[in-house]
Each structure stands twice: as C-alpha cells, then as structure tokens.
Structure 1
Amino acid sequence: MTAVRRTRARGIETLTLDSPQHRNALSAALVGELTGALTDCGTDDAVRAVVLTHTGTTFSAGADLRDPPHPDALVALLRLLVELPRPVVARVTGHVRAGGLGLLAACDIAAASHTATFAFTEVRIGVAPAVISLPLLPRTDPRALARYCLTGERFDAAEAARIGLLTAAGDDVDALLEPVLDGLRRSAPEALTETKRLLTARVLETFDRDAAPLTALSARLFSSPRAREGMTAFLERRDPEWVL
C-alpha cells in the first residue's frame, strides 16, 4: 500500500501524503517513498513544478514514533526538497507538527488554509528540532522560532505566515495557489532551476556545515531515557514524568 500518491496536470506533479490513519507521520516507509517520488520529478523534463499536499486533517504529525526514519534519511529528504531542480510548493489544509514543519520549511513556496495549526512539539517528548532546523533557521524569524521551539505552543496559519514558515495563508488555499502555479507554468524551465539555485544557496550552506552534528544530536536524543519516557507518555496519552 503506497503512502504517497502521484498525479500530474499541465506540468505540475502533485505528491499527496496518503497515510491519514497515521496522520501522515514520517515513517521510514513514507520518507523512502517521498524521496523516490521527488527524485523522479527532479529528472523528468515534463515536470515544471511539484505540489506537496496531503489527505486527511493532518499534513504531517512529524516523525512516526513506532517506525521513525533514520536521521540521515530525513536529512536527505529535506536536502532533496531544497536542491530539487524544480520548485516545490506545499499545499496545507490540515495540522502540521514537529518534523512536518521541516517539510514546509524545505519547500520553496508554502500556503495553508486557516484551518491549519502548527506546533514544534519535540521538546514535549524530550527531543529537539535538530534536523528540521537545517531549513528552518535560514528562513524563519529567529525570535518567533525561539518561542515556539522552546515551548511547543500551537500557533495558527496567520502567525506561520508572519514568521516566514508559510508564504501565504487564507480561507481558500487553492485560490492562493492558483496564480502561483500559473506563474510557474509560464516560466522557462531552465530559468526556474537557476533562480531556485540562487534562492536556496544559503540554506544549502547550512546543510553543508551543520547536517552531520545535527544528525548525531538527533540520534543521541531519540535514544535517550528521557525521550523514551516522553514517547511512551505520548503514546499512552499521559503527561511525561517531568511535567510540573
């Protein structure tokens, strides 16, 4: 059973995260499928741009705690989104948590409806947003990122747009994206590739410099006793032992 559906219309390849029963959590299988689909898009001259969207009420709940991807695989996926020679547009109509926010930050353009909510929940299960900070830090407001990463608070789509996590937020996400997709279809493919390369250079510098230590940090935290307690508490729907 596939976790990523693929459709195409007028040069736009739509990749749909399709594991709603698991809230489109980033399992090893889903990350592998999405990586493969994006790789195909990057080498297909008939693809002008990619739309990344979802089924169900959640864009992505973050890492699948029962079948998490290896940190190296998640880094590779995020880097692929950033350096893909085709623009990647995120279309969000549901909730986004933890690692799912890394997917948004790695996309070139991201739009969400006002029904979407966002939260960096890592600290609440005893880990840190280590790997996803690679695309996040160069693209989002540092003061806001400090608040939301340190507290795990939920915020809405308007705030996500204000801090740079989203390009736009509104009642009708498809209306928001209609001029975006029209513009991409009207743009020369080679020009899109080179323009994206210019725009993502600083993000890729962050990957080159910090990916290895952040991958090691993620692996260390996820294997810690504190994280085991946090993940167990989450799955058991109770507060972890450190809550005051």
Structure 2
Amino acid sequence: MTYTTLNISRAGHIATVTLDRPDVRNAFNELTIAEITRAFRELGEQSDLRAIVLAANGPAFCAGADLNWMKKMAGYTHAENQADALQLAEMLRTIYLCPHPVVARVQGDCYAGGMGLVAACDIVIAAEPVQFCLSEVRLGLIPATIAPYVIKAMGEQAARRYFLTAERFDAAQALRLGFAHEVVAVEALDDKVAEIVKALVNNSPHAVQQAKVLVREVSGQTVNDALLADTAQRIAHIRASEQGREGVASFLEKRKPAWLL
C-alpha cells in the first residue's frame, strides 16, 4: 500500500513507520491520522514482524494538529467534532494495542497530540535537545483524546501540572517523569534504538506479545484471588506453548532458541 504522509520501510523482522511532513513539523491532519491507523493495522497483522519503530523526518517529531486542519475544525458542528476526535482516538488505540512492540524514536520537539503518539508506544527513546509540551490549554482546548495514554506514561501528578500549565519540559525531565525510557545525545539516538530493537528481536516473539498484553491488563488491578488465578493461568498457558517449551529447552541445552535460527 502507498502512503502520502508516511514512509514505511522494513529490514528483516523490523518495520519503521516514519512521519514525513517535515514542512509542517509532522503535524497531523485527517489523512495522516487515517494513514497511521492503516499502517499499524497492516503491520500488526504481519506475524513475522518482531518490532516497529515510529520515527519522523525533519527537525520536529510532531507538532500536534495541523493548522489548516484546526481551521476546518473551528467550523465543525459538535457531531462533526466528536466524529473527528474519535478518528484520532482510534489511531492512538491502534498503536497502543498493536501486537508488536512499538519503539518511539523521538529526534525532535514533540507537542500536544504528538505526545499522545509517543505515549501510545511501548518504549520511548528521545534525543537530549527534545522539548515536550502539552500546549492545548493555551488554545482554549484540553488534551482529552491523548489523556489516557499520556497520564499512564507520566502519572497523574505530573499530568496535573503539565496539562494545566502548558509548560515546556525537556527530555531530561521526561526521563525523570517516566515519560521517556532513555535520553541520549542526538548522534547516539540510532544506536540506542538499534540496541533496544535488538533486545526485542532476541526474545521469544510470542512471549514479547504476551508480556505486552500482561502489562496492559494487569496494571492497576487489585491484588486479589481473581488476579492471582489470572496470572497463574497466563504462566501455565505460556509454559505449555511451543515457544515456551523451546525457550526452556534451549536454555537447558545451552543452544540458541529456534526463533533466533
């Protein structure tokens, strides 16, 4: 499939989805949202993939909403605005629920909805000069659609501050908040992303997918008998799976597992 606002490449078990509207700082509009949604749906169905990198061309990662798109939204009815917002929500959910791990390679500034894109990813690697900003309230708006992902990523207390103040904060602060997992020099960004991706590829593809589901479904749950039964069932199921048996056998036999051959 061809894309207008994205570049999609593949090398072995790794796919890279690159935002490609550098002239507008990779801001998104209806087309970008539709294409990102379609790209992650299609890639999610490719069973031989092990990881997806979400990247961007140009000096900015994503500036949020495109200005021309915002002008159009100003004339929308309530129903049109709700339908439009649901398209953005579906894009974020598609990334968040993608069966393959998604690594955000954040090379430049990331504002508003762009932070939602990053927060929906599993692992976030940012370059040191990157600035983040939840700028919506400056425009009389709120970061509603991206809130479920951003609050999960940075925590409620940090969200209270940055949702309300629209302050910029740097990559070092993003790291302290837990929004970013790694912050590196610009020249080290690709090497760090490659290091993380290699770690993902070396692991059991089935186990990685199930571990992603595990975090999503167990996080925030009350530790009770139902949760204990659920987690016991999960480990019992994966121990009996083909890759579970192969992984343990290869470890005991001191050989590479089949997924690395």
Q: TM-score range by the shorter chain?
A: 0.7 to 0.9
Residues 34/204 of structure 1: CA separation in 2 closer, same or farther (3 Å cut): farther
Give 1:202 deviation, angstroms. Answer: 5.9
Answer whether contact 1:138 1:203 (CA < 8 A) is retained: no
Give 1:134 deviation, angstroms. Answer: 1.1
Answer whether contact 1:82 1:200 (CA < 8 A) is retained: no
Q: Distance in 1 between matches of 2:116 and 2:10?
A: 24
- Corresponding residue SS for 2:58: coil
- Corresponding residue SS for 1:73: helix
Q: Distance in 2 between matches of 1:75 and 1:82?
A: 11
1:181 corresponds to which letter in structure 2? V
Q: Distance in 1 between matches of 2:219 and 2:85?
A: 18
> What corresponds to 1:91 in structure 2?
105
> What corresponds to 2:23 in structure 1?
21
Identity %: 38
> What corresponds to 1:191 in structure 2?
207
Give 1:204 deviation, angstroms. Answer: 11
Q: After superposing the two structures, state which structure 1 stretch, 104-113 or 144-153, moved more.
A: 144-153
Pair member with larger Rg: 2
1:114 corresponds to which letter in structure 2? E
- Corresponding residue SS for 2:69: coil
Which consecutive aligned stretches of 4+ in structure 1 deviate over 3 angstroms post-superposition? 202-205
Residues 204/82 of structure 1: CA separation in 2 closer, same or farther (3 Å cut): farther
Structure number with greater CO (CA < 8 Å, separation at least 6) is 1
Give 1:143 deviation, angstroms. Answer: 2.4
2:209 corresponds to which letter in structure 1? T
- Corresponding residue SS for 1:190: helix
Residue from 136, 153, 171 that aligns with 2:150: 136
Q: Distance in 1 between matches of 2:178 and 2:192?
A: 16
Q: After superposing the two structures, state which structure 1 stretch, 62-71 or 16-25, moved more.
A: 62-71
Q: What TM-score do you get using the length of structure 2 for normalisation?
A: 0.75
Q: Distance in 2 between matches of 1:204 and 1:71?
A: 26
Q: Distance in 2 between matches of 1:62 and 1:107?
A: 16
- Corresponding residue SS for 1:79: helix
Q: What TM-score do you get using the length of structure 1 for normalisation?
A: 0.80
- How big is each residue's C-alpha offset from its partner over 1:105-126, in whole Å with a ceiling of 9 and x where there is no partner? 1100011101211001000000
Matches within 5 A, 1:33-72: 33-67=35-69, 70-72=84-86
Point out where structure 1 has 5 or more consecutive residues left out of the alignment: 206-244
Give 1:175 deviation, angstroms. Answer: 2.5
> What corresponds to 1:155 in structure 2?
169
- How big is each residue's C-alpha offset from its partner over 1:132-173, in whole Å with a ceiling of 9 and x where there is no partner? 001122221322222211111111101011112111111022
- Corresponding residue SS for 1:67: helix
Answer whether contact 1:109 1:167 (CA < 8 A) is retained: yes
2:20 corresponds to which letter in structure 1? D
